[in-house]
Amino acid sequence: MKRLFDPLFISYCLLWGIIHLCRYLHQPVPLLNGHLTDFLAVPAMAHIALTFTRLFIVRNQQYTYPLFYLLFMAVYTSVVFEWLMPRLSPVYTRDIWDVVAYFAGSLFYYCFHGRPATARQEYP
């Protein structure tokens, strides 16, 4: 469970929280409000899923998701939030840039979390 306290993961959560708090207070942060939460969505979901995968499924703390899995998460998130949900609720809107952000977030996560532990610094 200590993997959930990775500095990057904590940063994802703090940024997401700040952006949503600013939205709630009707003071959106112009450059960050639009797509940063979409960029952070896949890395945050992947990090939580990977932590539980390592603990309960593969039982190997060095295991990482292959790029294909992360890209699949981006496809799935895109389909749900950019195609399905806008058809079911007027609260959601379609935005191709959100899809780009999901895929960019996947690649970001792969670059900073997806490499084997020997190729990057591990946090205790």
Residue ranges per domain, the chain? 2-117
Q: Is the pLDDT of residue 96 over 90?
A: yes
Separation CA 120–CA 47 (nearest Å): 16
Q: How confident is the model at residue 110 (pLDDT cuts 50, 70, 90)?
A: very high
Separation CA 99–CA 75 (nearest Å): 8
Arithmetic mean of pLDDT, 88-106: 95
| Amino acid type, 27 | Q
Torsion of Cα atoms, 94 then 96 then 100 then 101, to 10°: -40
* pLDDT for 89: 95
* pLDDT for 109: 95
Q: Is the pLDDT of residue 1 over 80?
A: no
